[in-house]
Structure 1
């Protein structure tokens, strides 16, 4: 497989492979094989180091350092992002993590332009999280560049960021080969019983076979004594290396420890530290002769387990000493964060001065690398804080930063540290709040509602601002819980929120609007919601309110304000990117995808959801499935939608997320109305309407009215219309009034119906609701055909068909096509090489090309390399039967 990967690279094909296996199985040897096979290629090697896991972008620096001369060739935002994360420039805000990933992709693509590039990443489980995110991001988007990436990672591993990439699990060698390999390592006699035991315990692991027997006397191997420990394989291999350290001189062992503690492999730094420890250059000779280490321009151990065996088995006081020497040898001005890191590891006991330095490093790291780096420094600062109360404060800060960076499990562990106390009442309330927020992020179900409510009540007399934020979280949890929330829970949250001192921030206004909605319904809350939306749309809102743009964006449809929805959805994505807050970014992108579906931009919504999937995979938070349900329904993908719906109901029931179940019912109604199966649409819409869920109930009523009229249940439609009109109330937007006019037209006859259909088309044309406008044209055209006004019907039906075909609403387009045929018109469908055959990404690239963006600009927007954009455009041209960009505009709707 690896040989084919190299051959494909010479042919200009990208490849990615993740080699998984236990320590010693041969992953590093296979990477060496690739390097030998690809000697004519440019090779970039990265080695994960356990002690550097918490230093953001350390691994990425290893990968990119040889290519940094090419930085000037990158687009400015990407160039600035890499300079920032590598400490080559300072900036006030953290670079967008996805721009960093795109910069890596562009840099690799540029380096491969001269010569095919192979990136070999060993011990990926020990790379810092930020580096793995960036590398995996680039790996997933390699397509048309002569770049190959091969990762080696332990199996099992917590490094789930590589999940989903092509992979292979390496198994052990067979017994016959194992005996041959063992014999090659032991020229002396070996008792057959001992041999069989070693082979059995090694389980085909080559390194175990080579290393475990070493260090045993010939008599022990011949007689079967000594090889009795059947512990964990990694431990046994490490112990074999430890035994090889025993005969080495003391200075050699200390030099090896210093090298193990210095993860960069900087030989100059190692020798400066050695001089401070009083170790001469001749101390390396015995270790080099024994094959444990190689010291040239860089320092390399024979195997990563050599490094870990040396570091883990060294006495604590010796580790402190070598880290102290490494700190002294590090240029504090040039590399203050690494200097601080070594100082921290040199501390043999809590040290407030070091903890303060780490807190300052956290601030620098946040400016340079985002929340993940800040969280790492804050966690270390927590460990070194002597004062118990300061320790609690730093643990809570670290937990919040870790959660925001997308590591909820690690944040929970830090909360456990903080809980040891002593906790002030405010500390306890903040801890319980964050624990509930983490629970909500991981499950998005009913379990989080009560903990959030109790945390908010605890905070009211202590921190009123934070209390209101917590109540708003509780409101969100109730909304997500939907039908599965206990009866009256929404009112209970509303009462608690109203009992808190009032605030004037936009989020405070939104909290009061939500509380009013829970307690009194749509009509009473509408004005409050509109005021809150106006406040959120101001330019001068505070940082705390930025976190809540997503909930304002989600709430805008409640008052039928799609202009506010459009603006807030895009603003929230920008804010979350700039903050590097992955947990918040996933929610923001899901909100944006909702709005894109509303506008008929199905390709854009699909691209946003792809990014959401990447983020939730990286963070381990609960998947966000809501928009995917509605998008599948609008696209009319019957088989795919049915499977998505079934999976969503099972998952939502397990998590206690009742809103998702209602969404499935709403999506089913949309799908069935598009297919013209009105009885099924009516049944689904009625189920969705049984639960008064914010926004969804409005949309379900719209589907119910159409399905009821078309299936002959006019009385049901009239009753639902009355409910819908009451909900729209004073929300006189073009979207709301257009929907109301369309629904009224369905239950009317004669001239009144026609006037209402015309009003619906006019008003919806002035809104952003393109799919709803298409349905107004469709329903008007159907009405005209039944009135035998075929020529006029054709005009409306063609407009509907064009709208639906352009956005990819297949079922509604086919419904419009059937109606057109019934008028005697000819329906022209594109052939097999049509827009419908374009993938979501191809359609989006084509659209951006029509808008005039260059290939690099398209790549920057969609996180693709320039060559990959070119490759996609060639496929678009072939499918559409055109040969240039100039023809795209005519070929696309």
Structure 2
């Protein structure tokens, strides 16, 4: 194939192929407008691919609502490797593709299975996967392929997409534009019939902007007079994109065909698979004979060979969009009649749905069954489309409302939250049914909390909770709990909302379920204060399970901070991530990873926390939900690098103001106070800590009080330090545990009677050492060492400052490490800069793999945790062994990695 003027593009594709031959994986999105030559470049790629397997798939506009349609087309030739996958992945992929029945698979498990399938297929030879027209991928295929694209590494797999539009953002891309003018002229001359007026040629070049398809097709639409004497008039003045004009050209060519040929072409456009025998069976139903095909091929619009192949996707869309409604229904009806209902029931149902003129209960019931099959395969978006169409075809008001509500639930589960309110409004038009109305209100509340869990969610949640009080008391309590969570998030932006929500919640009957217990605790916290709420928090936390109460984990985690339960918080976050990984919960995992990172941060495991935040961010690109921004800012503050930390904090403030989430302003103030305390800039830390404690934000207020005590004591603002100490001590006094007692003792050491300072420092270190909060223990040692040094007890000071410095350096808390190092120097000790170990030599991903391997995990187990193929894990481990100078996992474990 000759590609005119595409030297840059060919170089990019040739480099990609060389990398894949060398054993690397590569991903590329070939992006450009319709007709610009994307498919020609993909043909060039596959024609020059190394000896190996080449797979091609394409999105098809009529298939966008059928779950996994494009993904299954791509993976079908690779199913011989299915048996090599771990059982959970094998079962998930088999269920998703309808090869077997099973539990509805979550997207992450399917994505990991596809990743493994590609890796196995590429084990002996490179694998080239090309997905054209990706703008028409069904939702699940797009999500899974985006996930896989972000996790490919060293499998010798190339995954290349052709797309027009904004899909697949964030992946490496090659933007394809029109041909340079010289090449465009040569291409145009190749199709012009003899001599053409120079002004006409210039006008065509200018208006097509070098688009190859337009250069080839638009001149066909010009009369001889226009070509000879001037390209102008009405056609030249047409508005619209080049693609619109080319599509209009195709439409005119279609309109010139005989009636039977037009109908045959329409049937080919509507039938998405390109099945020629099926097409001819449908044609027979439409009383169209074989002679109708000849004008289509003469016009160069379509080829009917082994498969149906259109001249360009714009031909298909031109035929489909310009068809009369009656003709379109007739074609769908014919296709439905010839589609095997046993082998392909969903496509048959979809054709029947489009053939229906008015309400049809038989078709609606068939669509409802298709929705059930789609849900069983994890295709929530497809199920929603089936149910929406089923509701449109339903005459009975009650059944119509029930199907509409089911569609709303499926849309919500698919992540298309914006489509849900309109469906809920339609569901309410049906006859009143208390059970259905309760379902509507529950879903409306979830939508409100999902769209914005801050100020704007409070009123919708309270309204929904009030309506549910009679219909479903348990759902009402859960919704009131969400309202309290939203009000707590709103914080200083809506200071009266928390009390208003809590007062309303007290009117609902109490419940003994986990949400009911948490509601009672948070209501007491809002109205009666921390002391009254503490025992209720403890009782509630005992009932909230990470396995069955996933929606409650955020509130439970905040409660654990309120009652100083470090063991519970560490355990809960670990279990939540485990469940989210095991079940492949796309929507939950990014927030669960961020939640876990917070726990690891306070445990002093900065490297692990950073790894989880990186993973959460990568997953969010593919799945949609963004990881919570607070943890990244807090981690940056503890690392002590002023520039990056302040950038994160300012970004947090902007997000807080944009979303009406005052809680994030509290976090921003706390993070800034940590940063400046670590750097020894106590006046700045004091100002930030006062901002953090200016509103009693959930959990953050207590964190801020600790920073305020330290900053005020260091700036000799003792009245302020004592006030903050008293408020912190009041919270710690009503709970048990080393975290509470250590926190209180440390505050007493800083702001209590000078004669008892050493006693309190020792108690703080002793109590915090019983926890897993290594960061807090190191900070207590630093403060005690500084006090000892000021007391001129240098030898004793070194006994505290040395372990504090070593701990901070190992964690990566550079600001606190430098502060400890300065104090050590003041005691007369030489300070040598410590290496932070494996992180200095290994990448983030390598260090994560090294730690898991050292813990005894197998390659498939590590791959399942990190969403990598086992082959990529093996490749990274070889690099880890080389960098660390070890030859086995046992040596890796002994190296301390």
With the length of structure 1 as denominator, give the TM-score of the two structures.
0.91
Q: Which of 29, 33, 45 lines up with 2:44 in the alignment?
A: 33
Contact 1:406 1:618 in 2 (8 A): no
Match of residue 304 from structure 1: 313
- Distance (Å, rounded) in 1 between the aligned partners of 2:412 and 2:643: 37
Matched, 1:205 2:211: yes
Change (3 A) 1:794 1:868: farther
Q: Deviation per CA, 1:455-501: give whole Å up to 9, x if none.
A: 3334334443333333222212112111111x321111111111223
- Distance (Å, rounded) in 1 between the aligned partners of 2:410 and 2:187: 49
In the alignment, structure 1 segments of 5+ residues that lack a partner are none
SS at match of 2:506: helix
- Distance (Å, rounded) in 1 between the aligned partners of 2:394 and 2:445: 26
Q: Deviation per CA, 1:197-221: give whole Å up to 9, x if none.
A: 4333323222122222324443454
Match of residue 702 from structure 1: 706
Change (3 A) 1:823 1:377: farther
Match of residue 110 from structure 1: 120
Matched, 1:537 2:541: no
Contact 2:546 2:553 in 1 (8 A): no
Contact 1:701 1:724 in 2 (8 A): yes
Change (3 A) 1:674 1:547: same
Matched, 1:376 2:385: yes
Q: Which of 91, 95, 119 lines up with 1:84 in the alignment?
A: 95
Tell me how far 1:692 sits from its aligned partner: 0.6
SS at match of 2:863: helix
- Distance (Å, rounded) in 1 between the aligned partners of 2:95 and 2:893: 39
Q: Deviation per CA, 1:861-888: give whole Å up to 9, x if none.
A: 1112334334444554455455554443
1:335-374 correspondence to structure 2 within 5 Å: 335-374=344-383
- Distance (Å, rounded) in 2 between the aligned partners of 1:819 and 1:55: 66
Contact 1:426 1:459 in 2 (8 A): no
Match of residue 679 from structure 1: 683
SS at match of 1:150: strand
Match of residue 858 from structure 1: 862
1:175-186 correspondence to structure 2 within 5 Å: 175-186=181-192
Matched, 1:711 2:715: yes
Tell me how far 1:641 sits from its aligned partner: 0.8
- Distance (Å, rounded) in 2 between the aligned partners of 1:198 and 1:227: 12
1:616-765 correspondence to structure 2 within 5 Å: 616-618=620-622, 620=624, 624-748=628-752, 752-765=756-769
Match of residue 776 from structure 2: 772
Match of residue 22 from structure 2: 11
With the length of structure 2 as denominator, give the TM-score of the two structures.
0.91
Q: Which of 527, 534, 548 lines up with 1:526 in the alignment?
A: 534
More deviation in 736-745 or 330-339? 330-339
Matched, 1:57 2:61: no
Matched, 1:449 2:453: no
Q: Deviation per CA, 1:741-800: give whole Å up to 9, x if none.
A: 222233357884444334333332332322212223333343444455555544443433
RMSD: 3.0
Q: Deviation per CA, 1:656-680: give whole Å up to 9, x if none.
A: 2211111011011112222222222
- Distance (Å, rounded) in 1 between the aligned partners of 2:333 and 2:513: 48
- Distance (Å, rounded) in 2 between the aligned partners of 1:416 and 1:473: 22
- Distance (Å, rounded) in 1 between the aligned partners of 2:525 and 2:663: 16
Tell me how far 1:287 sits from its aligned partner: 2.8
- Distance (Å, rounded) in 2 between the aligned partners of 1:420 and 1:614: 41
SS at match of 2:28: strand
In the alignment, structure 2 segments of 5+ residues that lack a partner are 1-11
Q: Deviation per CA, 1:202-242: give whole Å up to 9, x if none.
A: 23222122222324443454454663533343332222222
Change (3 A) 1:285 1:426: same
Contact 1:833 1:881 in 2 (8 A): no
SS at match of 1:803: helix
Matched, 1:510 2:521: no
Q: Deviation per CA, 1:522-578: give whole Å up to 9, x if none.
A: 111112222211121397x5xxx4422332233321222233323433444455567
Tell me how far 1:68 sits from its aligned partner: 1.0
Matched, 1:242 2:251: yes
- Distance (Å, rounded) in 2 between the aligned partners of 1:701 and 1:201: 66
Contact 2:514 2:540 in 1 (8 A): yes
- Distance (Å, rounded) in 2 between the aligned partners of 1:383 and 1:566: 49
Q: Which of 37, 52, 56 lines up with 1:45 in the alignment?
A: 56
Contact 1:602 1:631 in 2 (8 A): yes
- Distance (Å, rounded) in 1 between the aligned partners of 2:810 and 2:112: 30
Match of residue 227 from structure 1: 235
Match of residue 170 from structure 2: 164
Change (3 A) 1:873 1:406: same
Contact 1:437 1:448 in 2 (8 A): no
SS at match of 1:149: strand
Match of residue 131 from structure 1: 141
- Distance (Å, rounded) in 2 between the aligned partners of 1:356 and 1:755: 76
SS at match of 1:213: helix
Length, aligned pairs only: 883
Matched, 1:270 2:279: yes
Change (3 A) 1:877 1:809: farther
Q: Deviation per CA, 1:372-420: give whole Å up to 9, x if none.
A: 3433333333333333454344333323332232222333554565577
- Distance (Å, rounded) in 2 between the aligned partners of 1:614 and 1:498: 41
Change (3 A) 1:262 1:509: same
More deviation in 460-469 or 17-26? 460-469
Change (3 A) 1:397 1:299: same
More deviation in 738-747 or 430-439? 430-439
More deviation in 142-151 or 456-465? 456-465
- Distance (Å, rounded) in 2 between the aligned partners of 1:607 and 1:54: 36
- Distance (Å, rounded) in 2 between the aligned partners of 1:418 and 1:217: 55
Match of residue 129 from structure 2: 119
- Distance (Å, rounded) in 2 between the aligned partners of 1:361 and 1:460: 35
